Each structure stands twice: as C-alpha cells, then as structure tokens.
Structure 1
C-alpha cells in the first residue's frame, strides 16, 4: 500500500507512506524512520501544532460545562466532585487525542514536503 492516505494513516498512528509502520516508539517519541518502508521521520517537526489543536478543541467541547457548573444548584460537595470529573475528562481527552493529532500533522508535513521557512526563503520572494 504505497499510496496510503496521510490522514487515515495518522488516525491509525501509522506511516503515511506505506500505511503499515508504527510512527511512535513511545507515547509521543517518534521513530527515526518507518520500521516497514524506511521513510525518514526526522525531516518533519510538528512543534506545538498538535498541542494547540487538541487543547483548543477539547476546551471548546468542555468549556460550557466548566462555566455552567458553578451556577448549578448542586451542593458544594457535588460541585467539587463534578469539577474533578470534568478536569479528569479534559486531561484524558487531551492525552488520547495528542498522539493522533501529532501523527496526522506529521504525515501531512511529510506528504507535502513541508519545510520550515528561513530568512533566505523570504528574501527570494
């Protein structure tokens, strides 16, 4: 499968070129190359993009609950318990979605040969 979709492969945490090799050797630690096809993974850097997109998305989903909770007619003890549960859900969602977002963004960068812009690139325009 040499024409794997970078997005679908990223959702499966697999190489965007072959669709088979694992991208990560740890939770967020990238392999230096694909164990199946040998694609170099060191040429792309997702930087803070995955953290921004995941944090922003999860916050959009859970912020209404965080704002409405203090105004609810629940006793203080239940409010504290609900707040702890919401914080756990927020952290859990971020932890689950972060590797997926990193894999998708990395595969898209490698697929499109995206590189960091340098001062020399700006002068050439």
Structure 2
C-alpha cells in the first residue's frame, strides 16, 4: 500500500488536498481559512465555532501556546537589536528608553498575537490537523 500525498480527516473522511499558503494568508487576515470571507475570531483570540459564511467547522482548532511563543520570538528578535542600536547611537535617558520600548513591545505583541493565531489555525485547517 502506498502513502498518498493527501491526508484524510478522521472526523469527516474528507481527503481533499488544501493549499497551505492561501490558508495561512487568510488566517493572518483573521478570516476563515476555507472561504476567506467570514471572521475566524469572535473576540480578540476566541476562534468561532463555525464560519458564518461557508459554515466550515472551526471549533476543533486549537493553537494553544504557539501564537504566544511565536509572538515573543518575533518581538524579541525585532526589539532587542533595535534597543541596542538606539542606545548606542543616541544614549537616551533610561526612563525614556524604557517607556518607548515598553510601549513598542506591547503594541507589536498585541498586533501580532491574533494574526499569528489565525495563521496557525489556517495551517491546521490546511493540513487536516483537527480533532485534538
């Protein structure tokens, strides 16, 4: 028996191939990974039970700590070198430096977190990784 390139969903028996990159892009925009029209999230980070447009079941997708980990990774890799460059170039007062970078870190984190969650849910949907 040969292994097929598509994966089969254990819950529905659906063996259709799904493109990963479009699903990631739709998830990044916080839209349904299937149709790209309906909202993926009902609040800041809560995944809708189903898409309001195409009725795709989304309740079984869980991103857990993945978005938080990726957010910390990205924000850290952007802000740490920037902090060093700003400090070495202009030598601002410590309280000013802390205030600017604290606001920057929080703002960037709040921007990235729901988008990364959407991308992870889109990846799970494309790879039939549901039913945990």
The normalised TM-score by structure 2 is 0.75
Alignment gaps of 5+ in structure 1: 118-125
* Greater helix fraction, Structure 1 or Structure 2: 1
**How many Å apart are 1:90 and its aligned residue?**
0.5
**How many Å apart are 1:65 and its aligned residue?**
3.6
Report the number of matched residues.
114
**How many Å apart are 1:68 and its aligned residue?**
5.7
Give me the whole-angstrom Cα distance separating, in 2, the residues matched to 1:103 and 1:62: 23
**How many Å apart are 1:5 and its aligned residue?**
1.5
CA contact (8 A) 1:54 1:101 kept: yes
RMSD: 2.5
- In structure 2, the partner of 1:88 is 103
Alignment gaps of 5+ in structure 2: 1-18
CA contact (8 A) 1:9 1:104 kept: yes
Question: Which residue of the other structure, out of 94, 98, 118, is the alignment partner of 1:103?
Answer: 118
Runs of 4+ in 1 over 3 A off after TM superposition: 65-75
